[in-house]
Chain A
Amino acid sequence: MNDLPIHKIQISGTTLASVLHRFFSSSGDIHGLLFGHVSFSTTISLSDDLTSNFSTVTTTDSASSSAADGPTLTATITDFLSIPSHFPLPLQHHHRDDPSSVLVGWFSGRRKTPLRPSVKDSTTTLSLASSASHSFTPLDSPYPLSLPPSLFLLLSTPFQEQLIHTHEYKAFQYRVSTDSFDPKSLDIINIGPSFRSHYGSFSPISPFPSMTCDLRGPNAMAEDEKVETLVGIKKGLKDQKELDLCAEGFEIGRLSKLMGSDASNYTAELEHLYDKMLVKLDSLARLVEKSSAKVLEQVQSCRLRMNFDNSDGISPFVRSFAGEDSYL
């Protein structure tokens, strides 16, 4: 695995806004995965302004020397997946074939905390950045290159609530070789004429996230390869049972067929599921109706009996009141 510095991190304004919104609207802390791609920087800042050209020549001296060490890489975050932070990151289900959207890193959003990687952040980032199974090859790579998902986006809210800004964020690239979080600036790409140059390299397509539909895994062979504890298996089976109970005969595994290219063949399946749900709802409604009728009946019979007891038609309260009046 190559441990190369990423020079720039780009994120579309809508994606960042969406991450922030998800963070802001959740009741607790959240974390999640960041998807996107890493590409070789191709944008050349051509300008006929001599002065600015001159200044770039002088300032890019160091940049060009670092570029000599390795390629200039730009990471673009295109979409994300977020879950409450007490759930583990759903890492195992994201082997995607699409090279334009691979796992490039993860993010953690915790309210009112300093913008520094915590113990959990650093251990998670380390395990992500050093796992070979999540490494990917950047787009249009001129030579074989394998990068780990090393980006880490940290979100927080300010301690004082009366401040004008509502959230803070900081992006890092974790380098395994130096065991350091290098702060990186986050370029926000907005749609507009001034960002036209980004259109070429920016992919706004966000694929449907692959959900974990079947806890048992796709095939038995793959399951055997995993080293699982007995407790883990038991828990899995229990969860599966609960899931199956909710599905009412519609195997939850069948849901996975609703994704991908052959989804159209299975819309009928979904309709079938909805039918079943409707039938269930219908039967429930009928039950409620019947029981309500029974309750009403009982209430009415009670009232009849009460009326019979004080047949003069005056309620006991009124009677006692009248009695007191005459007493006076």
Chain B
Amino acid sequence: MAIDAIPPLISAQLNYLVTHSPFSVKVENMWPGGKNTGLLDRFSLVIPFCLDYIKWDVIYNAVYPLAAPDVIFGAEDENFRPYHALGGASDSKSLKNPLTDWNNRDPTRLFSLVLQLRELYKAYQKKRVEEVDDDRLKFEISTMLSREGIEMSLSSNIDKPEEVKFAVPLLDLDLNKMVGGSTWRHQQKIYLQVIYPVGRKYSSAPSAPRLKLVSSPELKAVFSIDDFRLPAWLDGMCMAEYLPTLEEMLESQIKDAVSSIDSRRKLIMALAPLFGRPVEADPVFCRKATFLSSSGVFTFLVHVAIPLQFPKQQPSLMLQSSQHFNSQGVPIKSLVSTEYPWSPRWDTSDMAERIFDFIVDECLNFKKYCNESILQNR
């Protein structure tokens, strides 16, 4: 008996969804719903929305795998009825409930269902936000709407005051294209998260919204949003005024970050004539390179980690012996070192030479250190 197995028809749909989704969908949990079978036919999908996650339970029926699945939304979205308004609507042709003519043999069905439901959920949250009785919010929405792809949601926790959250996509740049050779599956984006407390009353000096920059996680390899300082929010400002300055600053910094990749690549290339071809190197973001080197009979690896702020910040170096192992059999490594002469104004070949000179001295110390620690362990 197949225990804890996913029925093939359901598995095909789920695989298609996870591999083809334009946003990253996670399957959080799978459990069986049948009485005696261990067939996993229900699962929770974690779907990114408005810089947060929504969790939907998808209920298949392993006993009748051809039947359409059912979806249960989160507890806070109990009033989300995606297919209720469709009855007499004029767009009912283009937007019909896909569950009514389900075909489980078509692996794309769950994918299109989730995509459609997410769009409907987006519209539902937008409608909720627009119904909030707050003058400032109404104004902000009316001036921001020209931007594409804004997601918004109304948080309605009982124990917290009402808040409206916006996820504003910034910059019209295709970051995936800007970074040559990147293997990112999803479109990289930077968003500004704006949280407005709902005031309901008009006040002449409304408090500043809570602002936070959020990027897709993979972008960290190129550009760290933590290093970016948001421009100050002036009293009486609105989003439409704030965003252009923010985008301008961000764009120049991202361009710097992308050009920094090139200078990092140049450094790795400049190190190669001195150390030999790198054993391992990060070819896309050029953040790491490892060289095999030797001093007499002592062979060791040099790990070079190049920071995002290169050349302003110098690379950090670490040595790893190929001959000395500790009692657990792990190669002995040196501490990470950045204490060597450095100037960002030097030529790349100069930088490489300085690193090489430093290693020539440092490897002797490291060899001593290795021998000592081996002796201590005995």
Contact = CB atoms under 8 A, between A and B. Distances in A.
B40 to A, nearest CB: 11
Interface in A143-160: 159
B84 A122 contact: yes
B83 A116 contact: no
A113 B42 contact: yes
A147 B35 CA distance: 37
A113 B84 contact: no
Given A113-B72, A119-B70, A159-B31, A86 B84 contact: no
A165 interface: no
Given A29-B61, A85-B61, A114 B84 contact: no
Contacts of B72: 113-114, 116-119
B78 interface: yes
B64 A179 contact: no
Interface string A156-191: 000100000000000000000001110000000000
Which bucket holds chain B's interface residue count? Answer: 20 to 34
Interface string B243-275: 000000000000000000000000000000000
A71 interface: no
A111 interface: yes
Interface string A272-300: 00000000000000000000000000000
Contacts of B84: 122-123, 126, 179
Contact of B75 (A86, A114, A122): A114
**Which secondary structure dominates chain B's binding surface?**
loop
Contacts of A121: 70
B163 interface: no
Interface in B40-77: 42, 57, 59, 61-64, 66-68, 70-73, 75
Interface in A199-222: none
Interface string A106-133: 0000111110111111110010000000
Ranked 7 nearest A-B pairs via Cβ: A28-B63, A86-B67, A86-B64, A118-B72, A120-B70, A111-B33, A118-B70
B57 A119 contact: no
Contacts of B97: 123
Interface of B: 31-37, 42, 57, 59, 61-64, 66-68, 70-73, 75, 78-79, 81-84, 97, 99
B67 A112 contact: no
27 contacts: A27-B35, A27-B36, A28-B35, A28-B61, A29-B33, A84-B63, A85-B67, A86-B61, A86-B64, A110-B59, A111-B35, A112-B31, A114-B75, A116-B73, A117-B72, A118-B70, A118-B71, A118-B72, A119-B70, A119-B72, A119-B82, A119-B83, A120-B70, A122-B81, A123-B99, A126-B84, A181-B78
A112 B39 CA distance: 13
Contacts, number: 81
A183 to B, nearest CB: 10
A123 B82 CA distance: 9
B206 to A, nearest CB: 32
A26 interface: yes
B36 to A, nearest CB: 7
Contacts of B71: 118-119
Nearest to B78: A116
A117 B78 contact: yes
Interface in A66-84: 84
Contacts of A123: 81, 83-84, 97, 99
A58 B68 CA distance: 50
Contacts of A113: 33, 42, 57, 59, 72
Contacts of A119: 70-73, 82-83, 99
A188 B177 CA distance: 65
A127 to B, nearest CB: 9
Contacts of B68: 120
B63 A27 contact: yes
Contacts of A181: 78
A317 B84 CA distance: 78
A208 to B, nearest CB: 27
A26 B73 contact: no
Contacts of B81: 122-123, 126, 179
Nearest to A28: B63
A112 B42 contact: yes
Contacts of B62: 28
Contacts of A180: 79
Contact of A118 (B33, B59, B64): B59
Contacts of A85: 61, 67
Interface hub of A26, A27, A159 (most chain B Cβ within 10 A): A27
A117 B79 CA distance: 10
Most chain B beta carbons < 10 A, residue from A28, A113, A117: A28
A114 B57 contact: yes
A198 to B, nearest CB: 32
Contacts of B34: 27-28, 111
A166 to B, nearest CB: 12
A28 B64 contact: yes
A29 B53 CA distance: 28
A116 B59 CA distance: 13
Contacts of B64: 28, 84, 86
A51 to B, nearest CB: 33
Nearest to A111: B33
B80 to A, nearest CB: 9
B28 to A, nearest CB: 13
A29 B78 CA distance: 22
A126 B78 CA distance: 15
Contacts of B35: 25-28, 111
Contacts of A25: 35
Given A110-B33, A120-B70, A126-B84, 4 more contacts: A28-B63, A113-B42, A122-B83, A180-B79
User: Of residues A86, A121, A126, A180, which shows the largest number of chain B Cβ atoms within 10 Å of its Cβ?
Assistant: A86
A28 B73 CA distance: 21
Contacts of B36: 27
B118 to A, nearest CB: 13
Contacts of B75: 114, 116
Contacts of B57: 113-114
A89 to B, nearest CB: 14
Residue of A111, A179, A181 most packed against chain B (CB within 10 A) = A111
A112 B70 CA distance: 13
Contacts of A111: 33-35
